[in-house]
Amino acid sequence: MNNPVLQRELTGFLRQRWSMVTLCGLPLLLGLLIALRWPTDERIAVSGTRSLEIFRLFTGGLLMTMLFLFPVFPATALVKEKRSGTLALLLNSPLGPWRIYFGKLIGEVGIALLLLLLSLPAAVACFTLGGVSLMREVAGAYGILLLTVLLCATLGLLISTLADSIDAAIRWTYAVVLSLSFLSLIPHYFFVGSSGLTGEAVEWLRSLSPVAALMQLLGAGDIGARGVADSVNVTARFSFLAMGISVISSLWTVRRLNHRLFDRSRDAGTMVDDQNLSTRIIRRSMFLIDPRRRARLIGPLTNPVMVKEFRCRRFGRLHWLLRLVSICILLSLGMAILTTTRTISWDVATIGGIMVLLQVSLLVLLTPSLTSGLIATERETGGWVLLQLTTMPVYRIVWGKMLSVILTLALVMCATLPGYIVMVYISPGLRDQVERVVLCLLFTALFCMLLSAAVGCLFRRAASATVASYTALLVICGVPLLIWLGRGDPFGHSFVEQVLVINPIATAFSVIRLEGFQNYDLIPANWWFMGITSLISLIVLLGQSYRISRPE
């Protein structure tokens, strides 16, 4: 604690009002989950099966909390200092890069460590039931959680030095962390059991995910195994890879902590419009959208706030959007071909469920990063004052910001439609299911966009707005699925159905008739819930925007 950077990080976090709510609320929520699943039959308690099941739910919820809520803190740790000018003062102090880095790293890890320490009583309660080993399950699970925290912290600090804005740092950190945690599992679904270089590469790629490591440790089944025996020790490989990536990220970050961080040379570039005609024709034939072409003037009927959002956001540029859309089209068509041609031994509901899960997950994970900071970022950087000085009314400012998100999500949604069109063309009997799934996706996109924007506009800082938006969506999409895991005992069918009504993921699964969800009738109740919540969120967004636009 002799490091002043460490002291400032910890005291600054603990002095915030919402920190105590977070540190106490999440362990209480997980403890309530254990209480609901606490066995009442002595025979089940003696067998230890229920104890292990409860511990799996508990550690799974704790891991999801770390993956969805923790990365925002290291992602903003250094870029916030750089934008405020205090990082230059730290680099000119006698501390040195290593003490500055370790002060930041230990401070961010300490925040997560406090949460893990507060969750220990619930873990001990699972251990006292029997069936859970202290060294293997309890110590091993908390070891994976600590490695996950270290991995998120080191990657977040590295990206924080590479990013130029808080929004970019948060988006890239979430993209990297969630890709390592979830997208790394997708190839194993298709190449499980493969031999040779492909099979080994897929196994190492899967070992990057803490989700796979935790599931294998607790005996919850290998992701994507589909009955194939798996002798690979994913937990050991994840530990090795997490430590290696953390060390490399730390060395890279410390190497960047010097004066060159502020004196980066930028390529002046060449505007295509200033080159000769032949060069312009060649580049026009090579690139559908040329990123080096001079942008046109804003039209008289175009919302300038929308244009500003697109041009200031990296993924708002048209050539980046087209790349994202191309990836979505390829994934959608690939999943449709697997569904309709029976390329692999899965039924239509399974492949359709995976396809719906990928699309809904993309909406849930992408939308808050685009909408949560629309108002908070402007208030934090002082841009909202400049917008107030313009002649545009408040509703037009808000509409311009929302329109930039609507167009981005519309392109993503349109990119997934070709896969469904192929499914309907080859199997006409799937038409009703596909139509309902598309409606579910549209309602989900609207719901996530308005809810994230409404929650984010209540905060002054982009980091707090992003955490709150992801927390709200995580509660709506994650908690009902945890209750669904307890269907039959202690939760009855009617109670589980009432809880799943608020979950857009479960609704899409019920439409596609995925196993475990086919007995729940969630439409149109879910659509009514998302519609009413979206309307309330829109009213909150407009009301808060008008409130902060008044002269102080």
Residue 314 has a pLDDT of 58
CA nearest to 507, candidates 485, 494, 498: 498
Is the CB of residue 455 less than 8 Å from the CB of residue 468?
Answer: yes
Number of helices (H) and strands (E) in the chain: give both, helices first.
26, 0
Residue 535 has a pLDDT of 94
Q: Give me the DSSP letters along 225-249.
A: -TT------HHHHHHHHHHHHHHHH
Q: Which two tokens stand for residue 499?
A: 């809880």
CA nearest to 398, candidates 499, 518, 547, 227: 547
Q: Which residues pair with 487 in a beta bridge?
A: 491
Is the CB of residue 456 less than 8 Å from the CB of residue 373?
Answer: yes
Residue 18 is inside which H or E element, if any?
Answer: helix 17-36
State how far the Cα of 82 lies from the Cα of 333, in Å rounded to an integer.
43
Phi (first) and psi of residue 189, to 5 degrees: -65, -35
**Mean per-residue pLDDT, 140-157:** 92
State how far the Cα of 468 lies from the Cα of 458, in Å rounded to an integer.
10
User: Which of 74-78, 193-197, 380-384, 410-414 ranks highest by mean pLDDT?
Assistant: 74-78
Residue 231 has a pLDDT of 65
Q: Which two tokens stand for residue 84?
A: 């405020």
Express each pLDDT in 374-383 by its tens digit.
888 888 878 8
- Lowest mean pLDDT of 77-81, 279-283, 354-358, 429-433, name the range: 279-283
Express each pLDDT in 462-487 by its tens digit.
777 887 888 788 788 877 877 786 67
154 pLDDT tier (thresholds 50, 70, 90): very high
**Mean per-residue pLDDT, 357-374:** 78
**Mean per-residue pLDDT, 323-334:** 67
Residue 345 has a pLDDT of 52
Q: Which residues pair with 491 in a beta bridge?
A: 487
**Mean per-residue pLDDT, 401-417:** 79
Express each pLDDT in 279-291 by its tens digit.
666 666 555 565 5
Say yes or no to pLDDT of 499 above 70.
yes
The Cα-based distances of 431 to 246, 434, 444 in angstroms read: 48, 5, 20
Q: Which residues contact 537 (CB under 8 A, 6 or more apart)?
A: 450, 451, 453, 454, 455
Is the CB of residue 155 less than 8 Å from the CB of residue 173?
Answer: yes
Write the secondary structure of 450-478 as one string of H (helix), E (strand) and C (coil): HHHHHHHCCCCCHHHHHHHHHHHHHHHHH
Residue 273 has a pLDDT of 59
Is the CB of residue 310 less than 8 Å from the CB of residue 406?
Answer: no
Is the CB of residue 509 less than 8 Å from the CB of residue 88?
Answer: no
Say yes or no to pLDDT of 229 above 50.
no
Say yes or no to pLDDT of 530 above 80.
yes
246 pLDDT tier (thresholds 50, 70, 90): very high
Higher pLDDT among residues 103 and 55, named by residue: 103
Q: Cβ–Cβ contacts within 10 Å for residue 183, how many?
A: 15
Higher pLDDT among residues 242 and 25, named by residue: 242
**Mean per-residue pLDDT, 297-321:** 70
Residue 224 has a pLDDT of 43
Say yes or no to pLDDT of 14 above 50.
yes
Residue 468 has a pLDDT of 83
228 pLDDT tier (thresholds 50, 70, 90): very low
Tell whether the torsion through CA atoms of 411, 414, 415 and 416 is positive or negative: positive
Q: What is the mean pLDDT of the chain?
A: 77
Is the CB of residue 358 less than 8 Å from the CB of residue 509?
Answer: no
**Mean per-residue pLDDT, 294-300:** 67
Say yes or no to pLDDT of 149 above 90.
yes
Q: What is the pTM of this model?
A: 0.74
- Residue with structure tokens 């362990």? 27
Higher pLDDT among residues 365 and 177, named by residue: 177
State how far the Cα of 548 lies from the Cα of 552, in Å rounded to an integer.
8
